[in-house]
Chains A and B, each alone.
Chain A
């Protein structure tokens, strides 16, 4: 049977792509962020995943306001990146795993999670940059399944619902009959606000409590409404919902293998965690 060997949760700011393209990993501004990743790569070399299920929010590349699913999942053989207008290079295509995707879809719909299924899908920086941080040579050694959560257009799914989705996703992966190793990634956050007079908002206390809850109290974030999450973590900090989904795939007890937190990258407090089932 398939086994979830752990989760990686990280920020996904577009500027990371610019920094990678310009080779700024050792630049004093960027170093505290990039320095979080070598231990993640060591961990990946040890756990050797076959598949990455990556939970993120799309920013208009695949889902615009014409069609905005609350939850969606890829079921394609390949996922391509495309020009988002940032002037950063696009990355090589990712292999999909349609069989696993459909297994997850069957399992989630049977548990009353009605996801939009996508046999064609392009993936944006929230998918590509975390992958590039894990595998800097961009030769992806894994198959992928993208899971997309709407964190763009209110009403957003509640943290409670996202946590339950994660739990159901965990059960779906665990029931995959192939003997494969799966890493679940969740990308976005942590606290940041890109718009309005409150732009630049950061809430370190909240972020650190949230990161601690990922280890010790996984349902902690579910006590907040999405509006409260905006109040506490910023209009885009609410992307932490993707972390909540990823955390839900792990059992109650976990071990922390890596954590990093740094303010700022661009407008954002960056967070990074690697968790394993205890």
Chain B
């Protein structure tokens, strides 16, 4: 039985909790393997074969290959660890974060330089903008 989750109503936000940590354990472990240069090289040479070495769900593997980070997070990925995929691809943390927002890279960078995403309309699901 899981505890109440009063935190599912922050829009566009996933709290990495026990359920997510269990679901994403091997996905996150795969990500951390990319801290080693030799593993980054093997992953780049054949992504599918490298992913097949990990007991991940097919959905998780597809999400990784599509670089769909929102999907990865929904399937238990944690951004601190998923960031290793971006680092392997030569992407900055800002490019990775931006890719989850539906904005272009330039739009996202511009938003950050102008002070970031406001809390107005982004605090509770259903709040009035």
Contact yes or no, A197 B21, CB < 8 A: no
Q: Which of A65, A199, A263, A267 counts the most B-chain CB atoms under 10 A from its CB?
A: A199
Contact yes or no, A200 B111, CB < 8 A: yes
CB closest residue in chain A, given B81: A60
Stretch at the interface among A91-99, A109-117, A150-158: A150-158
- How many residue pairs bridge A and B at CB < 8 Å? 153
Q: Report if A101 contacts B (CB, 8 A).
A: no
Q: How far is the CB of A208 from chain B (nearest CB, A)?
A: 13
B 75-112 to A, binary, CB cutoff 8 A, 1 in contact else 0:
00011111110011000111011101110000010011
Q: Which 4 A-B pairs have the closest CB atoms?
A: A202-B116, A197-B12, A198-B12, A195-B79
Q: Report if A194 contacts B (CB, 8 A).
A: yes
Using a CB–CB cutoff of 8 Å, the interface residues on chain B facing chain A are: 6-7, 10-18, 21, 25, 28-29, 32, 34-37, 40, 69-70, 73, 78-84, 87-88, 92-94, 96-98, 100-102, 108, 111-113, 115-119, 122-124
Q: Which chain A positions have C-beta within 8 A of B36?
A: 83
Contact yes or no, A230 B13, CB < 8 A: yes
Q: Which chain B positions have C-beta within 8 A of A205?
A: 119
Q: Which chain A positions have C-beta within 8 A of B78?
A: 65, 152-153
Contact yes or no, A152 B80, CB < 8 A: yes
Q: Which chain A positions have C-beta within 8 A of B12?
A: 196-199
Contact yes or no, A154 B16, CB < 8 A: yes
Provide the bound-state CA to CA distance between A193 and B112, in Å: 11
User: Are A264 and B97 CB-contacts (below 8 A) given A198-B13, A230-B13?
Assistant: no
Q: Which chain B positions have C-beta within 8 A of A267?
A: 93-94, 97, 112, 116
Which residues from 2 to 31 on chain A have a C-beta closer than 8 Å to any C-beta of chain B? Answer: 13-15
Contact yes or no, B7 A194, CB < 8 A: no
Q: Report if A266 contacts B (CB, 8 A).
A: yes
A-B contact pairs, 25 of them (CB 8 A): A13-B93, A15-B94, A65-B21, A65-B78, A82-B35, A84-B84, A84-B87, A85-B40, A85-B84, A85-B87, A85-B88, A86-B87, A152-B16, A152-B78, A195-B73, A195-B82, A196-B70, A196-B100, A198-B11, A206-B119, A230-B15, A235-B13, A236-B79, A264-B113, A266-B92
Q: A264-B113, A264-B116 are in contact. List 11 more A-B contacts (CB 8 A).
A: A152-B80, A193-B117, A196-B13, A196-B14, A198-B122, A201-B117, A202-B117, A230-B15, A235-B13, A263-B115, A267-B116
Provide the bound-state CA to CA distance between A227 and B8, in Å: 10
Q: How far is the CB of A55 from chain B (nearest CB, A)?
A: 18
